[in-house]
Amino acid sequence: MKTLNVADVERDFYLHNFAQETDRAAAVLGGAFVDARLEHVLRKRLSANQDELLGHMGPLGTFSARIDLAWGLRWVDSDSAHDLHVIRKIRNDFAHHLDSELSFESQSIADRCRNFRSADAHLRGDEKAKERNPNVSTAIIDGWISKFSSPRWRFHIAVESLDQILIAVSEHEPSKYHGPSLVDECYQSTAQLIYRVKATATVGTPYQN
């Protein structure tokens, strides 16, 4: 199977389409996307022998090994490494589980999604945003928080947040880069929002099985 080359992917288009997929497809595609982004970081950082190291049979040929190397060299922080592993495990659950009824609402998957530190920070930021938006009904923000608290949306938040972190990692030299804090980035991205409501707004959920 051809490896996803993240450099050839239009990010917003890919993430939009992956959000419309079935639960199983979204889990596999979301995992493949951040895995490809992490591979892109490693290819930029490794001076030589990239194909042998990162190939299917190489020592860095697995998502797990790439996460552990990135964390071991402090290219990402511990929260990023944690959430990357959670994405990896969810992807593997869907890819290798033959149960056709498996979904993000299944207990085992929902439990994993509750472990996303990025999603927790994002939702805490939404709560903080209430203070910055005193003229907006709290019911609107509470509705937003409720929708994004679902397991499927927590997964989506983690994929997008980690993709942004890995883009930042790839743009810095190893000797100069200490890595953004995943939790701080996710919290600030929502805590500082200013809502402008002009009409009735609804928040949908990704396609469900």
Token pair, residue 102, equals 């498996």
pLDDT value at residue 1: 41
pLDDT at 27: 95
How far is residue 33's CA from residue 146's CA, in Å, rounded to a whole number? Answer: 26
- pLDDT, residue 2, reads 45
Write out the chain's pLDDT in tens, 209 residues. Answer: 445 565 556 777 777 788 889 999 999 999 999 999 998 888 887 877 877 788 777 778 889 999 998 898 888 999 999 999 999 999 999 999 887 889 999 999 999 999 999 999 998 988 888 888 888 777 777 777 888 899 999 999 999 999 999 998 888 776 655 666 889 989 988 888 776 665 555 556 665 55
For residues 197, 142, 34, 88, the Cα torsion angle rounded to the nearest 10 degrees is -170
Q: What is the pLDDT of residue 47?
A: 77
- Residues near 180 by Cβ (< 8 Å), separated by ≥ 6? 77, 165, 168
Tokens of 25: 């497809």
